[in-house]
Structure 1
């Protein structure tokens, strides 16, 4: 018996290889994967060969060892069912639906402590969005949106849309999002944005409207380096810019010679692998994950998963995300 595993082998090249069927050790369980979601931002960087290959794959996840150089197995949004348990594991684990931060593979073994039981009300497809919602929760924790504030979000991919949905549940003064794709702007307004507008100079002008001028808080989540310039330009005096994008090896050039210096704009990075040191007294990764589960149950985010592709056609899935951003927001691997 063999299992299937996706590997990135070179820029824009993926391979679905056969590997020995995993057998659980005494303290492990075996999970048969039913669904796994592509992280369309990070994985597209890996797919294009634009991820720094000297960085660890993800030091926060035990399932990710080594660095980001080719070849590598990657992914962190797998859902499946426990179909075998080791001799020292409670047999109650058998048959449980679980989430795991595991690469795209048809079966894997894990310590039960590394698994998240999927709530009964959450479908397998929805459960693959847990890392997306956890990232959005992190952005809100780091951005500190306040009552009555005017907020802007650049980028309405999966993470941008999930962030919009959470912000829409906050008592903001106005929430305006920006994206180049019309279909994503439509989804954004459906998830609660007051308006979603096309990228460009007019978008910056729209976001600067108001008294006082400019956004109080702006998120840059597009993954496009040029959008950071627009996000800063759209932010008003003493405003905050939270950069959730990972640009990989793409250079970022900023025009900071205008009002940026005098406007005392704060630009900070946000990333889900860690929690803001200022919050660690009360917040832990497990508490944040619990909040993400709660919001995943409340929100209808399954429309973000616009396409389902069998793992055997993995190359087509990544090409779809690259070539058809107006059609493909999120892609789900089926097994």
Structure 2
């Protein structure tokens, strides 16, 4: 098979397209003939040799990627034979191997792909979709919600805009540049603004005033830095600041936007990080990730949520990483063999 391999930690150019041995499924596993592989911002950090609370150092050489979709073409010992030939999608968890024409995973991680979704859309929902639904557990979205969504053209941002609009709420979507801003507007945002323009906060204030709204009720913050601070400054008393990333501050040295208890009390707002164990505890159940994955796929299958996908050929994984790191992508980035 062909796969993307990483032999040395470093820049995107270190990802190479190579021919390598076909993987063999073990007991309770399946092999998937991959038609779509998900690319996550975390993949770019792991490529550089970084680690964090949700990742361990990769053993080199490695095949990156933790989200795959395709057709089951081989079974390991004691694996349910009904999986053979089925279209499936799976999040591989901590085990990489997704940037390839063939990938192996435990049958317990599989989900059938709904007929109404293509494989790239299923990839978007198995990772980005499940994270979005986890974030929304903290949001209490209603028709009275006034949400500010930085990075509204991204995979999570696209779904957040749709979810709030489906509930009858008001959405202010921020994105970088006119092309992305146009996509946010087409996705249903009530106001779509370019955060690169310094007057965007004043435009939000004017919009809220025209509608008789005292301020935003929630900020979905995946960017941190100055954009997030300006958005949080637009929160009304009682508003929420939900943190699930800080891409605007840089992967290597960035930090999330945080507030002291005194600052929060003075503003009468709350600020909360919703990543990792906090999200899993909120989701509850014996397998919270799988619960979120199942619901995410169902919402997409019914058309209630529509993931945005940007496809790259598998051989161009290095370009996909480069574009993702430099905010040159929209929606979920997917590699197609």
SS of residue in 2 equivalent to 1:331 = strand
1:319 corresponds to 2:318: no
Q: Give the direction of change, closer, same or farther, for the CA distance of 1:113–1:282 in structure 2 (3 Å limit).
A: closer
CA distance in 1, matches of 2:273, 2:313: 35
Is there any run of 5+ residues in structure 2 with no aligned partner, and where? 93-97
Q: How does 1:66-145 map to 2 (within 5 A)?
A: 66-67=56-57, 73-102=63-92, 103-130=98-125, 131-145=127-141
CA distance in 1, matches of 2:313, 2:204: 41
How big is the shift at 1:146?
2.9
How big is the shift at 1:259?
7.1
CA distance in 1, matches of 2:220, 2:57: 28
Structure 2 length-normalised TM: 0.82
Structure 1 length-normalised TM: 0.82
How big is the shift at 1:227?
2.0
CA distance in 2, matches of 1:283, 1:167: 26
1:11 corresponds to 2:19: no
Q: Give the direction of change, closer, same or farther, for the CA distance of 1:186–1:207 in structure 2 (3 Å limit).
A: same
1:22·1:30 contact (CA, 8 Å) conserved in 2? yes
CA distance in 1, matches of 2:280, 2:21: 40
CA distance in 1, matches of 2:24, 2:168: 50
For residue 249 of structure 1, the aligned residue among 242, 247, 252 is 252
Q: Give the direction of change, closer, same or farther, for the CA distance of 1:215–1:201 in structure 2 (3 Å limit).
A: farther
Q: Give the total of aligned pairs.
A: 318
CA distance in 1, matches of 2:22, 2:59: 25
Q: Give the direction of change, closer, same or farther, for the CA distance of 1:277–1:111 in structure 2 (3 Å limit).
A: closer
Is there any run of 5+ residues in structure 1 with no aligned partner, and where? 59-65
SS of residue in 1 equivalent to 2:78 = coil
Q: Give the direction of change, closer, same or farther, for the CA distance of 1:217–1:128 in structure 2 (3 Å limit).
A: same
Alignment correspondent of 1:265: 269
CA distance in 2, matches of 1:18, 1:279: 40
1:139·1:163 contact (CA, 8 Å) conserved in 2? no
1:57·1:68 contact (CA, 8 Å) conserved in 2? no
1:214·1:235 contact (CA, 8 Å) conserved in 2? yes
Q: How does 1:185-224 map to 2 (within 5 A)?
A: 185-199=181-195, 200-208=197-205, 209-210=208-209, 213-221=214-222, 223-224=223-224
